[in-house]
Structure 1
Amino acid sequence: MKIKDILSSVKKLAPEEFQCSWDNSGLQIAGTASEARKVAVALDPKPETVAQCLDWGAEVMVAHHPLYRKPVAPNAEGPYLDVLRRFLAAGAWLYSAHTSLDSRPDGPAFWLAEHLALENTRFLDVEHRFPALEVSFLPSRPLRRELAEQWAENPGVHAVSQTRAGEVRIICDRAAWPEIRGSVEFALQESQEYYVRELQSPALETGIGMVGDLPEAMPWQAFTEKVTSALNCRGWTECGPIADTISRVAFCGGSGGSLISSAARLGADVLVTGDVKYHPALEADIRVMDVGHFSLEEEMMRRFANELAESLDSVEVRFFEAEDPFSFHEK
């Protein structure tokens, strides 16, 4: 399969325009291979994992975390130069699906919401808002109802209609329009002049973290057992006041200590996240479970690998497991 088609599939699952402003999601290393038979997926592009992926024969590796945030000169020995050398020698490609994946509304970053069956969910922190488009055009002949229904079934389409004067109106998400336009012109076999207007609503929102309601309130102990049963973690740390029962849950994969106040403001009884620092812990006004950066995102990338495998039917996709860099010791 051509590399460009593989990367196109990755970008559909982790749209680069969804990433946070400070991030470096996207292509990290451009290889020389033009086609691939094997695609590796992993949490981190660290030298040991990269070696496993390339030894397996991967021509493309998709990691969650970027190789770098800002351009780095390859002038010093270390993990960064080691990874560069390995990829350049193999002619392989490295891509990062970082906050572009974290922010996808229906993406695997929100797998814990599915595990807990959360309802009435919303983002903890909205990063982007993409208003829908209203596209109007006047075809040379009336639109068949079957064709309008076919267009309406496309992902991202909100409505399709035609006025008595023959003008067709399509309301769709911005990202969906290029593909829909192709479908329109293929079906009508004629080019069109389009009037495109940005609407205030509906709009696609993307963001980091999620908050939602449990189907039923749970005692604290039962809640922790429910969460940790799905995590590959050896333990967790807690801070903040404990509620007698847990009804509303917030979570953020990776580092979510900065979102404690947002979770409390949105009515959460607990925030499940990783990398909570000392001073945010001192000031926490709700209970916080720090289960570690690794455990939430390792499971996310495992699920992402399954998604990618379903979208790439002519290549082999393999998830490479990692180990939590932290270990817990009891006194």
Structure 2
Amino acid sequence: MPQIKDITAELEKLAPLPYQEDYDNAGLMVGDPGMVVTGVLISLDITEEVITEAVQKGCNLIVAHHPIIFRGLKKLNGKNYVERTVIKAIKSDVALYASHTNLDHVQQGVNYKIAERLGLEQVRILAPKTQILKKLTFFAPLANTQSILDALFRAGAGEVGKYKNCSFRTEGTGTFLPGEDAQPVIGQPGSLEQVAEHRAEVIFPSHLQSAVLAALRKTHPYEEVAYYLHLLENENQDVGAGAVGDLQAPLSPEAFLQHLKTRMNTGTIRHTRIVTNEIKRVAVCGGAGSFLLQDAIRAGADVFVTSDYKYHEFFDADNRIMICDIGHYESEVFTKDLLYHYLSGIFSNFALCLSDVNTNPVKYFV
């Protein structure tokens, strides 16, 4: 049977923790990583009721989208729902894990799930992140370059969009003078050497730096490996906030609103003025997404689907786009399905359960 750390390792392949926002608290919040998993309950939120459900279903790990702990807990005396939930989890020996903004920021994450529900095509990240890529430049003898690159590729370097094993190399002459205590692979101590070498370059996600450098050192023949790193300003097209894509065929605004209501299973949609005769390009952001409005406009979207819009923020549409607020819970509840299908494709020897608890704190009188 897998341990909690085995489940979380796979979740972090899908949504690496370094991709979460600074304010976030994704990851394992309660529980022993070495505990054997009896079952996993997948939920949008973690509440006392969800923990009761986990116990009843024989699940000792809850995987949720929203963390129950956002801020530091100085005391655990049950004075609010957060403390009560954490206490109940500990007493019930139920571990709590959250994949939050890191899951928002990856392809095949929260926003791609919304795009899938709406039938969007040619989906891409709406606001790609910068400063999360690095470039590694290293120098190696001509005969060793490819084996080193192969190891770097296995460690996660060299991926650019839909392309893998990407690198660049130039040929030149490397010089070095081994000291008396050195044990050079090429040449002798005290003798100046000139070696035909490649200068090779690859890019990689910053959070993989330790693994990439370990692969470099393990496969490089030199006693002292010559390399350097650069933090890049390039946008990472695979990581960022929101998503945007096109409907297979344009819809009238009224037909799109009905489509949106049906596919996202929402009882109500708050929206701004209709400003176009047809809807083709759709931008989306699960949860609170008002910060992406200008990105949606720049992407040429006809409509921006998100939630948690404040009254005055609706004015920012400024007759350039239609904003559709479908509700926070409604925009993210299908994340449960995303996580279920991802984990079920990896683990088949224990129970994976979707929570039946409706954790939406917002109720509608209709």
Normalising by structure 1, we get a TM-score of 0.83
Matched-pair contact (CA < 8 Å) for 2:66–2:98: yes
Q: CA deviation at 1:101?
A: 0.9
CA contact (8 A) 1:121 1:211 kept: yes
**Conservation of the 8 A alpha-carbon contact between 1:233 and 1:295:** yes
Alignment of 1:25 with 2:18, yes or no, is no
How far does residue 252 in structure 1 lie from its aligned partner after superposition? Answer: 0.9
SS at match of 1:212: strand
Q: Distance in 2 between matches of 1:70 and 1:11?
A: 22
Deviates more, 1:95-104 or 1:183-192: 183-192
**Which shifted more, 218-227 or 12-21?**
218-227
Structure 1 residues 149 and 68: alpha-carbon distance in aligned structure 2, compared to 1, 3 A threshold: closer
- Show the counterpart of 1:302: 337
Give the conservation status (yes or no) of the 8 Å contact 1:33–1:91: no
Determine helix, strand or coil for the equivalent of 2:362: coil
Q: Unpaired runs of 5+ in structure 1?
A: none
State the identity %: 24
What are the equivalent positions in structure 2 for 1:105-124 lying under 5 Å apart? 105-114=107-116, 115-119=118-122, 121-124=124-127
Secondary structure, counterpart of 1:21 in structure 2 = coil
C-alpha contact (below 8 Å) 2:51/2:94 kept by paired residues: no
- Counterparts of 1:190-229 in structure 2, within 5 Å, are 193=225, 195-198=227-230, 200=232, 203-204=235-236, 206-229=239-262
Pairing partner for 2:306 from 273, 276, 283: 273
What is the Cα deviation at residue 191 of structure 1? 8.0
Looking at structure 2, the residues matched to 244 and 270 of structure 1 have their Cα atoms a distance apart, in angstroms, of 12
Partner of 2:255: helix, strand, or coil? helix
Tell me what 2:268 maps to: 235
Change (3 A) 1:144 1:189: closer
Q: Is 1:171 aligned to residue 171 of structure 2?
A: no
Deviates more, 1:12-21 or 1:308-317: 308-317
Unaligned runs of 5+ in 2: 160-165, 172-195
**Structure 2 partner of 1:63:** 64
Q: CA deviation at 1:102?
A: 0.9
Q: Give 2:163's aligned residue.
A: none
Q: Take 2:54 and 2:221, find their aligned partners in 1: how far apart are those partners?
A: 46
Give the CA deviation at 1:307: 1.1
Give the secondary structure class of the aligned counterpart of 1:157.
Answer: coil
Q: Which runs of 4 or more aligned residues in structure 1 lie more than 6 Å from their structure 2 counterparts after TM superposition?
A: 144-147, 184-192
Match of 2:280 in 1: 247
Residues 291-330 of structure 1 correspond to what in structure 2 (within 5 A)? 291-323=326-358, 324-330=360-366
Shift in Å, 1:265: 4.2
- Is the contact made by 2:30 and 2:97 (CA closer than 8 Å) also made in structure 1? yes
Contact in 2 for aligned 1:121/1:213 (Cα 8 Å): no
Find 1:93's aligned residue among 83, 95, 104.
95
Which deviates more from structure 2 when the two are superposed, residues 93-102 or residues 70-79? Answer: 70-79
Taking only aligned residues, the RMSD between alpha carbons, in angstroms, comes to 3.2
Aligned to 2:140: 138
How many residues of Structure 1 are paired with residues of Structure 2 in the alignment? 328
Q: Is the Cα–Cα contact under 8 Å of residues 32 and 92 in structure 1 kept in the other structure?
A: no
Stretch of structure 1 that moved more, 141-150 or 31-40: 141-150
Q: Which residue of 2 aligns with 1:2?
A: 3
Paired residue type of 2:343: L
- Asked whether the equivalents of residues 131 and 232 of structure 2 are also in contact (C-alpha less than 8 Å), the reply is no
Deviation sequence 1:166-216 (CA, Å, 0-9, x none): 437351313445445566677789987251322637552532222334444
Summarize the Cα distance change of 1:34–1:121 in structure 2 as closer, same or farther, 3 Å threshold: closer
User: Which of 99-108 and 176-185 deviates more?
Assistant: 176-185
